Chains A and B, each alone.
Chain A
Amino acid sequence: MSSISFDSSLDPILSRRAAIQKIAASSIARRKVYSKVAISVCLLCLVVALIPLVAIITYVAAKGIPAWNADFFTQVTKPEGIPNGGVWNAIVGSLIIDGIAVAASVPFGILGGLFLAESDGPAAAAVRFSADILTGVPSITIGIFGYIVWVKTVGSYSGFAGAFAIAIIMLPVIMRAAETAIRGVPVTLREAGLSLGARRSTVARRVVLPAALPGLLTGVLLAVARGAGETAPLLFTIFGNQFFQANPTKAMEALPQAIYTYSSQPYNDLIQIAWGAALLLMVVILVLNVGSRLMAARLRRERR
């Protein structure tokens, strides 16, 4: 019996349900059109954003591939008119300069990021603000800074001076990436460490940093990609060197420097080498970017 009286009390709800379902069903066609339009606009924006990227890659590849041969990778740069020139000196120079820059900026960057992530004080805010400003400083300014602080002081252009300038470029990138990676470590892990009687430094070293490793590696590789492509900081610091030079206390060659130097020469064979070097640099940076993502994804997968 109660069931019957029940039904009538449900009436307003049933009728509202019917009304709502009718409106939902009648508006679904319109909503689907809106949805299609929105997705089309997104796709259009995606295409517009991709056009410059694809255009640059294909253009540089088309121009640069003809320069790639055995000599290009194994010979030093030759003066115009002399065949079989390459960028071996620039490749070695870039490896050494960027290697030193990474070695110098990674410890400061990661420790700085750890400080930013673990401290809420005014000092951290100041450091974070400085890092953000540093990211935005024009790279030519950092080149001049490197020139005054290192080249003028030491008295000569050198690979070390270039590495110094590149490290300054990399530092804020690593620091902010490290901060993000470390902040991503769940608070409960930190608390679990502290609750076992570990000091904060122990927790940071044994729990937090290992857990943040995928993010840290990604940050470092992205910083390398950023630093390896910088030209302006090198122009004022390494001077350029068309001979093979692996001693970082001397003037060196590097890929961005080579591109800059040879692309502004009036000789076709040197311009060709510049295109080849541009393609090489682009490929290295693409590989670093894609590789860092793949590595981070893989590390994350392995840990699950």
Chain B
Amino acid sequence: MTEPLTTPAHIAQSIGLTTEEVFVGHHAGAAKAMRLENVTVTFGGRAAVRGVTFDAYQREVTALIGPSGSGKTTLLRALNRMHDTVRSAAVTGTVMLGDTDVYGRSTDPTLLRSRVGMVFQRPNPFPTMSIYENAVAGLRFNGVRKKSLLDEAAESSLVAAALWDSVRDRLKVHASTLSGGEQQRLCIARALAVEPEVLLMDEPTSALDPIATKRIEELIGELKDRVTIIIVTHNMQQAMRVSDRCAFLLMGEDRTGELIEFNSTSKLFSEPDDPRTLDYINGRFG
């Protein structure tokens, strides 16, 4: 074993990958954060999205794109069991978070959601709480009481959400005094503070102006080393800018969404496998 420590094989071994994966980059076979297998979501027996299979990789941003009604948001909400709150909704198929079966019998949805965070379309900071209280709300909900851990998580998450510098002197101020873009970044910080393994983002910039959108997009790129991101977006340019892989969904004849293509973002937007993807990204419909 006199090999220098810098050979690809060595590096690969030290971080648990094959040599090929290191050469080709994380696109080839990085660890899978979430795996979806044949996922179908029905409302009152009618399928909204059917038979979706793909993997979301660690340290990557996976974008769900497609026209309205293709089931992007529905699918996203199936990943942290948000449909549990809708009586008529049912999810079939398999969703795996690492080794955890998301819909497994022994999986507690509350604990699961502390591992799979969510950011919504419209900024929704808790209006009665201060900036600080918003940032640590998830921790408090999960039973964390230690002040040092709360403070540490608040700072770390606000720094990560690029909000720390502008709010560090007014942490006790109500969150409603922030601008829309700041509020959304606070919501991202709030989700990050729980240190989830996966962060689901449902069109997080659709209610924001272009400048605030740009900041969030930059943020997404910075965050993917910390948390696996799955983002729903209406905006194909945004998907191109922020994502590593893309899932393209389309509504079929029976008005049920289906996965048309799952590919690396560069491939999907340059030479997609499915002609329908090409039509969509060229703006022929949708």
Residues of B within 8 A of A123 (CB): none
Q: Which of B129-188 contact A (CB under 8 A)?
A: 139, 142-144, 149, 152-153, 156
Binding site for A on B (CB under 8 A): 6, 11, 14-15, 22, 108, 110-111, 114-115, 139, 142-144, 149, 152-153, 156, 194-195, 197, 225-226
Known: A4-B15, A7-B15, A13-B156. A20 touches B195 (CB 8 A): yes
Known: A3-B15, A16-B152, A21-B115. A31 touches B144 (CB 8 A): no
Residue of B nearest to A18 (CB): B195
B112, chain A: closest CB distance, angstroms: 10
Q: Is B156 within 8 A of A6, CB to CB?
A: no
Binding site for B on A (CB under 8 A): 1, 3-4, 6-7, 10, 12-13, 16-17, 19-21, 23-28, 30-31
Q: Is A1 within 8 A of B194, CB to CB?
A: no
Bound form: Cα–Cα A73–B66 in Å? 64
Bound form: Cα–Cα A12–B15 in Å? 18
Residues of A within 8 A of B14 (CB): 4
Residue of A nearest to B113 (CB): A24
Q: Is A24 within 8 A of B195, CB to CB?
A: no
Bound form: Cα–Cα A287–B115 in Å? 48
Q: Interface of chain A, helix or strand or loop or mixed? A: helix
Q: Is B6 within 8 A of A1, CB to CB?
A: yes
Residues of A within 8 A of B115 (CB): 21
Bound form: Cα–Cα A16–B139 in Å? 11
Residues of A within 8 A of B110 (CB): 28, 31
- Of the listed residues B14, B143, B153, the one surrounded by the most CB atoms of chain A closer than 10 A to its CB is B143
- Give the residue of B139, B143, B225 whose beta carbon is less than 8 angstroms from that of A6: B225
Show 5 residue pairs from A and B whose CB-CB distance is below 8 angstroms, ordered by the A residue. A3-B22, A13-B226, A20-B194, A24-B143, A27-B143
Residues of A within 8 A of B142 (CB): 20, 23-24, 27
Bound form: Cα–Cα A3–B115 in Å? 23
Bound form: Cα–Cα A21–B11 in Å? 29
Q: Is A10 within 8 A of B225, CB to CB?
A: yes
Residue of A nearest to B110 (CB): A28
Residue of A nearest to B12 (CB): A3
Residues of A within 8 A of B108 (CB): 28
Known: A24-B114, A30-B143. A4 touches B149 (CB 8 A): no
Residues of A within 8 A of B139 (CB): 20
Residues of B within 8 A of A23 (CB): 142-144
A19, chain B: closest CB distance, angstroms: 7
- Of the listed residues A7, A20, A31, the one surrounded by the most CB atoms of chain B closer than 10 A to its CB is A20
Q: Is A17 within 8 A of B15, CB to CB?
A: no
Residues of A within 8 A of B22 (CB): 3
Bound form: Cα–Cα A1–B15 in Å? 10
Q: Is A24 within 8 A of B111, CB to CB?
A: yes
Residues of A within 8 A of B11 (CB): 1, 3-4
Bound form: Cα–Cα A25–B238 in Å? 36
B142, chain A: closest CB distance, angstroms: 4
Residues of A within 8 A of B225 (CB): 6, 10
Bound form: Cα–Cα A23–B144 in Å? 6
Residues of A within 8 A of B156 (CB): 12-13, 16
Residues of A within 8 A of B149 (CB): 16, 19-20
Q: A26-B143, A28-B143 are in contact. List 6 more A-B contacts (CB 8 A).
A: A3-B15, A16-B153, A20-B144, A21-B195, A23-B142, A24-B143
B139, chain A: closest CB distance, angstroms: 7
Q: Is B143 within 8 A of A31, CB to CB?
A: yes
Bound form: Cα–Cα A13–B149 in Å? 12
A176, chain B: closest CB distance, angstroms: 26
Bound form: Cα–Cα A1–B14 in Å? 10
Residues of A within 8 A of B114 (CB): 20-21, 24
Bound form: Cα–Cα A25–B144 in Å? 11
Q: Is B143 within 8 A of A16, CB to CB?
A: no
Bound form: Cα–Cα A31–B110 in Å? 10
Residue of A nearest to B145 (CB): A23
Residues of B within 8 A of A1 (CB): 6, 11
- Of the listed residues A6, A21, A24, A30, the one surrounded by the most CB atoms of chain B closer than 10 A to its CB is A24
A65, chain B: closest CB distance, angstroms: 36
Residues of B within 8 A of A20 (CB): 114, 139, 142, 144, 149, 153, 194-195
Bound form: Cα–Cα A42–B281 in Å? 52
A7, chain B: closest CB distance, angstroms: 7
Bound form: Cα–Cα A126–B142 in Å? 48
B208, chain A: closest CB distance, angstroms: 20
A84, chain B: closest CB distance, angstroms: 51
- Give the residue of B6, B111, B195, B197 whose beta carbon is less than 8 angstroms from that of A16: B195
Residues of B within 8 A of A17 (CB): 195, 197
Bound form: Cα–Cα A61–B142 in Å? 50
Residues of A within 8 A of B152 (CB): 16
Residues of B within 8 A of A24 (CB): 111, 114, 142-144
Residues of B within 8 A of A16 (CB): 149, 152-153, 156, 195
